Amino acid sequence: PGRDGLGAYLEKPDSYPSSVVVYHNSDFVTIHDMFPKSSLHLLLLPRDQTKNRLHPFEAFEDAEFLEKVRTEVHKLRKLAAAELRRRYGQDSAQEQARHAALNADPPPDELPDGRDWDKEIMCGIHAVPSMSHLHVHVISVDRHSEKLKHRKHYNSFATPFFVPIEDFPLAPDDERRHPTRQGYLKRDFTCWRCEKQFGNRFTELKKHLEEEFEEWKKL
Ligand code: 5GP
Ligand code: ZN
């Protein structure tokens, strides 16, 4: 285990239940994060052995590889969005409005759109990964998790320490190439949803995140 812990999933994806390995194909293995930092937190692991021990900044310099990963991430974002709809759809005001319109008599000419759950998923990497095998986080925005226990857990997804896959390739002078110099993980807490400031008050932030989670589901 330790830094190499994700290697086991790449070697024997078949030996895990679907509660651990979501799916695998010849190029990727997708797993549930064992210490999820949101209500839905998946990891996409590329299997290409010429790439998957590189730092993501280096691996994604290869345009063809980046495109391949992007395509799979896109697929996974859809899958994750469908899962959020399944879980929280009944709670969402937009989904309720759509449902009501569908069942109206007579039905309207145009149905309102349901909620776009795609927008509630973030896909990207950490500027300084802790695990050595290349992985892309596919994580819902809510940060609702009992496993979110330390300030770095929060800030690693709420500051530029988290680099969205859409931002690649990075410009040579992109400041995120020097994450330690930037001190992202030590920044004051900012709520991901309302941007309220919490200084370094983690307990207060956690309480606020619970309230935001309830509101977010109902949007
Ligand atoms: P990083 O900070 O390297 O981008 O994130 C690594 C992620 O891997 C973390 O979110 C962590 O919770 C997760 N993780 C660490 N060890 C394991 C493991 O053995 N199995 C699974 N499924 N996830 C792990
Ligand atoms: Zn807030």
ipTM of the complex: 0.99
Structural domains counted in the chain: 1
Q: pLDDT per residue over 95-132, tens digit each?
A: 898 889 889 998 888 888 889 999 999 999 999 999 99
- Closest protein CA for atom 6 of ligand 1: 131
Q: What is the CATH number of the domain that holds 104?
A: 3.30.428.10
From the CA of 131, how far away is ligand 1's center (Å)? 6
Q: What ranges make up the beta strands (E) of 117-159?
A: 121-126, 136-140
CA distance 126 to 162: 5
Q: How confident is the model at residue 52 (pLDDT cuts 50, 70, 90)?
A: very high
Q: Ligand 2 centre and the CA of 149: distance in Å?
A: 18
Please give the helix or strand (H or E) that residue 100 lies within, else none: helix 93-102
Nearest to 148 by CA among 87, 209, 200: 209
**Segments forming the whole domain that contains residue 16:** 2-218
Give yes or no: 135 in active site.
Answer: yes
The residues facing 206 across adjacent strands are: none
Neighbouring residues of 121: CB distance < 8 A, sequence distance ≥ 6: 40, 77, 80, 81, 84, 138, 139, 140, 141
